Amino acid sequence: MAAGDFPFGFSGSGDPDKPDDDLAAKIPLFTELEKLLSWQGGPVNWDLARQIAIKTASTSDAAVSSTSATSVAEALRLADLWLDDATTLPSGTSGGTQAWTRVRWVEATLPVWRTLIDPVAERVSGAMGETLQTGLRGVAENGLPPEMRAMLPPELAAQLPQDAAGFQALLGPMMGMLGQVGGLLFGSQIGQALGTLATDVLASSEVGLPLAPDGVSALVPANVEAFGTDLDVPLDEITLYLALRETAAARLFAHVPWLRSGLLSAVEEYARGIRVDPEQLQRSVESFRELDPSDPEALTRAIGGELFDIPDTPEQQRALARLETLLALVEGWIDAVTQAAAGGRLPHADALRETVRRRRAVGGPSEQTFSALVGLTLRPRRLREAAAVWEALTETGGVDERDALWEHPDLLPGPTDLDDPQAFVRGREAGGENPVAVIEALAAAQQRAPVEGAPQPSQAEQPGDAGPDNDEPDDAGPDGDGPDPAGAT
């Protein structure tokens, strides 16, 4: 090797007595990291995540044929018509029906994934950045440990500074980038997980979240065909059954205003309980020396799923219980409504229902990968119990009363109610609770409540004999002008 030539594709000044002022810029690993760490858009490098997800999803992707697109559109439109008899919620497909490729699923759902994952990533990546900065600061202050220097090729070790001051000058430019390392790590892992999920997911709403743009219902024909390979059911019937589930979900998310924010707030509550294991982070940092900068997937392999395999705190357990219950109620309602619409119309409705239930309860490899990544289980563990609650409510109170429970989250069954659906229904009957009446009473109470800052009636118009110095509220009953105790909240 000639003087001044260096391995790994970079070169020095050629003068051993003259320090190289820009050594970091000549190291390929540092150069690639600098590019990746230039992301400024939040705790996850979503540019990187998108690139990896699309690359992963596109390996076996193909354009949707005109025949498949027509079949999906017709199935979604017919399914939406059938649902008119099964639910009081109106159509939610104001944005149209679509047939997506796997890559299109990635691109269309990324905005919601970003909203969902960023709160979790912010906590974890922040802790990771602090750990990495601490480690490099120690190297800058104390120099490279002898055992680490011995692991480097002799030519490279000879060019590295020999004292702490030299290392501080070398590593100084990198210190500002390390706060974004967490975004890089999350971006690579999330991209891989979403790309894998795209090869398996059947519809925009299959994971129980409103992933599609507002008003859009979509199926992924390539995945639907793969799903039906081992089923002794005609593909048209499978497509129509899945279309019923998709359009039912579209109705629910379009006409229950608080549902989207309720799901996302449960995730945010989960994120607030995250605690990072510093020892696991340290092991991940140490694995960086094994990276091959020429291999774009080396970072993902070096990190592995264990980096984010963080034990749940009590706060997280409560948030996850809330999230899992809400997901179960969503999927249970979709399951019950779909069956009501499909029964008597689709010959294999019962078999398809059981197949989908098992698929959602167990989850495929892609969902398991995603769960290990962010610690969130998006599977409705209690789908059957939730569906039983909705069906029991339909039998006793009808479709109107069943769907009216979605008017307010406090009306929904809780985790203990799923243990005994019939007991929940009997309790509502015994208490005489009619959700429609409850909602009307709440609305009436809000209308009667005085508006802050609004002009008040004159004393002559005030009910009762309360004088100007009397701050006590009027006690008029239902026949008076005061608040009705029955409408109190």
pLDDT in tens, 89-100: 999 999 999 999
Task: Judge whether residue 250 has pLDDT over 70.
Answer: yes
**Is 166 within the bounds of a domain?**
no
DSSP letters for 217-281: EEE-HHHHHHHTTTSSS-HHHHHHHHHHHHHHHHHHHHH-HHHHHHHHHHHHHHHHT----HHHH
Whether pLDDT at 466 is above 60:
no
Residues 6+ apart with CB under 8 A from 278: 127, 131
**Phi, psi at residue 219, to the nearest 5°?**
-120, 160
What would the pLDDT profile of 432-463 be if each residue is shown by its tens digit? Answer: 555 556 556 656 665 655 544 444 444 434 44
Mean pLDDT over each residue of the chain, to the nearest integer: 75
Which segment of 86-90, 148-152, 235-239, 296-300 scores lowest on mean pLDDT?
Answer: 296-300
* Two tokens, residue 188: 């690579």
Residue 184: pLDDT band with limits 50, 70, 90: confident
Q: What is the pLDDT of residues 302-344, one digit of tens each?
A: 554 455 455 667 777 787 788 888 989 999 999 999 999 998 8
Residues 401 and 344 both lie in one domain? no
Task: Please give the average per-residue pLDDT across 32-61, as a whole number.
Answer: 81
CA separation (Å) from 286 to 44, 87, 136, 203, 283?
Answer: 21, 56, 11, 40, 5
* CA atoms within 13 Å, Cβ hemisphere of 405: 23
pLDDT surpasses 50 at 469: no
Whether the predicted pLDDT of 7 surpasses 50: no
> Are 53 and 104 contained in the same domain?
yes
Residue 168: which pLDDT band, with cuts at 50, 70 and 90?
low
Question: Are residue 350 and residue 205 in the same domain, yes or no?
Answer: yes
Residue 83 falls inside a structural domain:
yes
Q: What is the pLDDT of residue 437?
A: 60
Q: Report the pLDDT value the prediction gives residue 162, as an integer from 0 to 100.
A: 67
Query: Minimum mean pLDDT among 260-264, 447-451, 485-489: which range?
Result: 485-489
Instruction: Report the pLDDT value the prediction gives residue 376, as an integer from 0 to 100.
Output: 61
Instruction: Determine the pLDDT at residue 209.
Output: 84
Q: Which residue range forms the structural domain that includes residue 426?
A: 396-441
340-368 pLDDT, tens digit per residue, is 999 889 999 999 999 999 888 776 555 56
Assess if residue 379 is contained within a domain: no
**Residue 315 sits in the same domain as residue 405:** no
Please tell me whether residues 202 and 297 are part of one structural domain: yes
Buried b (16+ CB within 10 A) or exposed e, 53-67: bbbbbbeebeebeee
Of residues 35 and 486, more confidently modeled: 35
pLDDT at 167: 66
Q: Give the position of tokens 């596109």.
A: 58
Query: Which of the residue ranges 71-75, 148-152, 484-488 has the most confident prediction, judged by mean pLDDT?
Result: 71-75
* 281 located within any domain: yes
Query: Ramachandran region of residue 275, left (φ > 0), alpha (ψ -120 to 50) or beta?
Result: beta
How far is it, in rounded angstroms, from Cα 333 to Cα 215?
19
- Domain for residue 44, yes or no? yes
Length of the chain, in residues: 489
Please give the torsion angle defined by the CA atoms of residues 413, 415, 420 and 424, in that order, rounded to the nearest 10 degrees. Answer: -20
Handedness of CA 389, 391, 392, 393 (dihedral sign): positive
Inside any domain, residue 169: no
186 pLDDT more than 70: yes
51 pLDDT more than 80: yes
> What is the mean pLDDT of the segment spanning 418-422?
85
- By C-alpha distance, which of 216, 227, 244, 266 is closest to 83? 244
* Structural domains of the chain, count: 2
Task: Give yes or no: residues 331 and 433 share one domain.
Answer: no
Mean per-residue pLDDT for 247-270?
Answer: 89
Are residue 358 and residue 434 in the same domain, yes or no? no
pLDDT value, residue 24: 45
Residue 100 lies in a domain: yes
User: Span 76-100, mean pLDDT?
Assistant: 96
Within this chain, do residues 416 and 355 fall inside the same structural domain, yes or no?
A: no
Q: By the 8 A CB rule, do 7 and 153 touch?
A: yes
One domain, residues 294 and 415 = no
Tell me: do 288 and 356 sit in the same domain: yes
Q: Where does the pLDDT of residue 122 fall: very low under 50, low under 70, confident under 90, or very high at 90 and above?
A: confident
Percent of the chain residues topping a pLDDT of 70 = 58
- Give the mean model confidence (pLDDT) for residues 43-70: 92
With respect to residue 108, please indicate whether it lies within any of the assigned structural domains: yes
Which of 314, 346, 362 is the endpoint of a domain?
Answer: 362
CA–CA dist 217, 92 (Å, integer): 8
Question: Who contacts 125 (Cβ-Cβ below 8 Å, separation ≥6)?
Answer: 43, 44, 181, 182, 183, 185, 186
- Secondary structure of residue 97 in the 3-state scheme: strand
Q: Beta strands 216-219 and 96-99: pairing type? A: parallel
Per-residue pLDDT at 333: 96
CA distance 134 to 276: 15
Q: What is the pTM of this model?
A: 0.72
